[in-house]
Structure 1
Amino acid sequence: MDDASSEHEDVQPDANYNPDDDVDNQDDDDVQGGDSVPSAPKRRRTSISSHSDAPATQSTATSGTPSKRMRSGSLCRQSPLAQVDSGSLTVADTEIVEVPCPGISSWRHYEILMTFAPSSAHAVHQSTGFPDYAPNKAGGIQPLKQRFILAEVQSLLATEPWTTMFENRVKRLVLHSYSALAPRARMALDKYMRFMEKNASGFWHGGHWFAIDTSTQGGAVMQRERKRQWDALARTVETKQRECVAEGVPSTIFWEAAYWSLPSKPCYWILMNPRSLNNQGNPYSLAEQLDILDCREPARVQWGTATRDEELVGHIPKSVSMSLLPEKARRDNPASRTYD
């Protein structure tokens, strides 16, 4: 079977990329998932975009001809661009983030073949509100790893983007009144805030899970450290939240964006095709890509890039009987008097 045909046909559920499966390269294998106090059914949320400053559009046109050997059943489950061989995609095609319509299980995100995040040994459902997609194991994960440049990633991590994430976090409550909390509850939440600050790197990595090329020693070391950090945080975050509840904090307060929760599955960061150029005619830097990603999907930075209070609660299931406080009550309603 030729590569193009294989790429299109392998869209069955067992072709989905599962971090637990990639044992040979020890990349993202057997990662544990966070399961914080507020739990809710899986939500399949993706964004539609062709670039940061471009209108959100859905790709409907294709620039090539699907392989003749593709099965009709597979075609029905593929988006327009997923039906096109990678080699036939235009540069414009590779800049599109497709949205999967109902019934679609394979689509392209910056050219990379995607699918819904599969279940793992540690998590069946993604935490509500967080991105719920992953590279397709057959046609997505390897091309994505090829975009991993160790030196560039190391340079980005050296800037500690998680520090910026903590500094720019949501600092107000929009569902609960801080003044109504008992002193011991406030102290417990201050302690949780310290936990967030100390573990900001783990929270950031959980929302920005890039595919690491572990063929080099540096990549392998980076992967091991990230996995260690993620596993430790996944084992701890729920315990910390329950400790707050034991001190009189309402469990519903962890629906507030101000108090971070860990997604049950890492949220993949799909790097752009190197052929994509910014307004200056240069390939997008990782810092530029990070800004685009975080603005498009605020959940990755715990809603720190949201511009309206409504965005902070849009992910909460209707089964949770909560609503925004009146606007006046939200103005002077800090998540902490200690952390500002």
Structure 2
Amino acid sequence: MTAPTMQDVARLAGVSVKTVSNVINDYPYIRAETRTRVEHAIDELGYQLNTSARSLRSGRTRTLGLALPELSLPYFAELADRVIRAARRSGQVVQVETTNGDRTRELDLLRSPRLQFLDGLIFSPLGITPDDIDALPKALPVMLLGERIFGAPADHVTMHNVKAAAAATSHLVALGRRRIAVIGEHPDEVVGSAGLRLRGYREGLEQAGIDYDPALVVPAGLWHRANGASAMRELLGRGAAFDAVFAFNDTLALGAMRVLEEAGYRIPEDVAVMGFDDLDESQYSLPSLSSVDPGRAEIADLAVSMLLERIEGRVPEAPRLVEAPFAIVDRESTLGQGVDTSSSM
């Protein structure tokens, strides 16, 4: 079989080849319905732009790097999918690397000669620290994701971890919950998702006039389902009374819910459960999981568009910091059967 062409995309979408080219090159004055048809045709056919001639003319490879801690966590897998889709719409391909959040592997990546074949890098670090800022490439545009490094000479897209966690806690309080446990603490962490979400949780309690109880805070190293289950067993073993659980990501929450149900707790009648990330699978768990949508789609789209602006020299030299909007998504694990509503913050 021959590779699909731009003409094939145009025929499937029912538009001209020029329109397909305009969509690929992110021309702004295209109707949303037309853009969507072309993007769906590109996805259905698996069309990829031939970048060889372009790179010879422009000196660009039209290849972006995406470095994530791991793809076994659904959040990063869904983020990668969104980044790849956004890049494809602009005629870019994406090379994905995983680092396991290990500082040595992250530094090796930043020093790798493979970077010379990229036009830019989207990088979500977990291992390196602000002391490693000098390791960031000087000649390659870099887009930072996450909360590990701030103040670097690079554009940065992140989420409202503190505000979103405070809003999630306040939301549980508004539902009448007063003994809210949290799962996913990383002891002594200040900079990072766990530390920031714990701060937001404490702010939410303070706003409600509820005392912070360390007995309701349970650590979990890697935020996987098995650790959510283990953390819930630890919480139950402590014997502390609780009527809600705020897990610092959805996979922790899903593991915790399994243990709660095995122990005979009704969700949400006995214990309301709130996650963070709003994974696709959270809509289909039993009960469906309430969660914080941290703006993953916006983070991916902004990361690609801002990085391309930087590559093309269309922005001021000073680095930019953008926080994506978030929303509280209520489902059965907080509101009971048959309810699925969301409220933007």
| Same structural fold, with TM-score higher than 0.5 when normalized by the shorter chain | no
Q: More helix by proportion, 1 or 2?
A: 2
TM-score, length basis structure 2: 0.33
Q: More strand by proportion, 1 or 2?
A: 2
TM-score, length basis structure 1: 0.33
